[in-house]
Chains A and B, each alone.
Chain A
Amino acid sequence: MDAYLKKFLSEEFAIRTSFAGTTQALRELILRSPEFKDARIALASGAIQEVSISRFAGELMKDFRQGERFPHETALTAIAVLLEGYSSPFAEEFLIDLARVRLAEMAGAVRMARECLKHVKDNAPDVKVVRFPTVSLQAGTFSFKGEAAWIVVLERPTSTHPEEGAIWIQGERYATA
């Protein structure tokens, strides 16, 4: 189990984030917790991989019992907040999938996924990435991992961006369109 994510299961984290009256207040508590700050840095730097998150969430879900309050709701809630700030198809799919669940047993985590999706939408890029080969060049700014970034998607290679269809963020190759 990933060491950073495992901290979301600790008593210290649960104590720090337990008493909040609203979903929005809980999100603030999570964002301010040292466990979350460490995990966010680890995710941004690649120390936490998507596969680790998927595996961790899968382990948590093994303890789900219908009719009983989910024991790892705090940890699952924290993962939702962690993925809110991580722009990837996996993160989006995870949040959308969790937000669609309609179970009282883990309603807090579901509410948080919905809240996180609102924030994702609010911070959505103001340019749409039109994929190769529809356009020759689309450029603009958007939010990447919580920070403003610029993006370029190429149809034809150039001397500075030689790979067709690549997406470049802040001058670094991020993915292929």
Chain B
Amino acid sequence: MFEELHLIGDTTQSIVLQTRKGRDVRNAIAPEPGGKQVAIYGLIRAQFGALWKQRKPACGGYNCFGHLFASRRTAVHDDAEIQKIFEDDGIRKLRPDEWPQVDDLVLYSYLQGRTRKPFHVARITKVESLVIPEQSGGALMKRTPILTVVSKWNDSAGEDEHKWRDIGLWENLDLDLEAEVFTERV
């Protein structure tokens, strides 16, 4: 079926990318998107991105994990490689008493069996808070973060700034998607 393609040889590109502890991270520089990929990104923005603010139009090179962990130089596509980065770089979930900060990251994960797997990652660009009175009279107040993030949706889409819960595209997918804040801060 693909014999002729084998004759072309190897056109893949990657860079040396390592974790803080020096373990290699498999990666692949994505080629620039074609007309079809750009059109699909446009359709998704039109359908779900009414409140998104575009930072960068459709481009290749990197995906969301490459955006965060390789400074937009390449794409990282594999669960195991992402786990390696989180472990070696000391990236941890925010404690309940901690408040998110700009440059922390939001990890979207889905449930597979009993394990949560990485789905998407985005960088926090703005932290606001919503204060909700917990008792009548307003004696106790609960502060909830409202986060703005930048997402590079995949290795052919563009970058959009959006509220962290504004991900209507993934609703009704039965993925049990969860968004949690992670940080490398000690």
Binding site for B on A (CB under 8 A): 11, 14-16, 18-25, 28-29, 32, 54, 57-58, 61, 64, 66-72, 93-94, 97-98, 100-105, 107-108, 111
For residue B112, CB closer than 8 A to chain A, the reply is yes
In this complex, what residue of A is CB-closest to B64? A21
Min CB–CB distance B184 → chain A (angstroms):
18
Contact B11 A32, beta carbon cutoff 8 Å: no
| Cβ A102 vs Cβ B154 within 8 A | no
For residues 105 through 153 of chain B, which have their beta carbon under 8 Å from a beta carbon of chain A?
Answer: 108, 110, 112, 117-121, 153
Given contacts A18-B157, A19-B170, A101-B2, contact A25 B117 (CB under 8 A): yes
Chain A residues positioned under 8 Å from B41 (CB to CB): 18
Chain A residues lying within 8 Å of B1, measured Cβ to Cβ, are 54, 57-58, 61, 93-94, 97-98
CB of B12 within 8 A of CB of A102, answer: yes
Establish whether residues B12 and A18, one from each chain, have CB atoms under 8 Å apart when the complex forms: no
Cα separation A102 to B13 with both chains bound (whole Å)? 10
Residues of B within 8 A of A98 (CB): 1-2
- Closest CB in chain A relative to B106 CB, distance in Å: 12
Give the 9 A-B CB pairs with smallest separation, nearest first.
Answer: A102-B10, A71-B36, A69-B34, A19-B153, A21-B120, A25-B119, A21-B64, A14-B40, A104-B11
Q: Is B78 in contact with chain A by the CB < 8 A criterion?
A: yes
One of B8, B47, B79 near A66 (C-beta < 8 A)? B8
- Chain A's closest residue to B169 (CB) is A19
A81 vs chain B, min Cβ distance (A): 15
What bracket does the count of chain B residues touching chain A fall in? Answer: 35 or more
Q: B residues within 8 Å of A by Cβ? A: 1-3, 5-6, 8-13, 28-37, 40-41, 43-44, 47, 60, 63-65, 77-79, 82, 108, 110, 112, 117-121, 153-157, 169-170, 173-175
Known A18-B157, A71-B35, A108-B77; 12 more pairs at CB < 8 Å = A15-B44, A15-B47, A19-B169, A20-B154, A22-B77, A22-B119, A28-B112, A32-B175, A100-B6, A107-B30, A107-B31, A108-B155
* Contact A25 to B120, CB < 8 A, known contacts A19-B154, A98-B2, A104-B29: yes
With A58-B1, A69-B60, A101-B5 as known contacts, state yes or no: A32 contacts B13, CB within 8 Å: no
Q: Give A86 Cβ to nearest chain B Cβ, in Å.
A: 15
11 CB < 8 A contacts A-B:
A14-B40, A15-B43, A19-B44, A21-B119, A22-B65, A25-B118, A66-B11, A68-B31, A97-B3, A101-B6, A108-B77
Q: Cβ of B63 and Cβ of A21 under 8 Å apart?
A: yes
A115 and chain B: residue at smallest CB distance: B78
B79 touches A24 (CB 8 A): yes
B residues less than 8 Å from A69 (CB atoms): 31-34, 37, 60, 156
> Closest CB-CB distance, B36 to chain A, in whole Å?
4
Q: How far is the CA of A9 from the CA of B16 in the complex (A)?
A: 35
Residues of B close to A103: CB separation below 8 A: 5, 8, 10-12
Point out the residues of chain A lying under 8 angstroms from B119, CB to CB: 20-22, 25
Bound-complex Cα distance A56 to B170 (A): 29
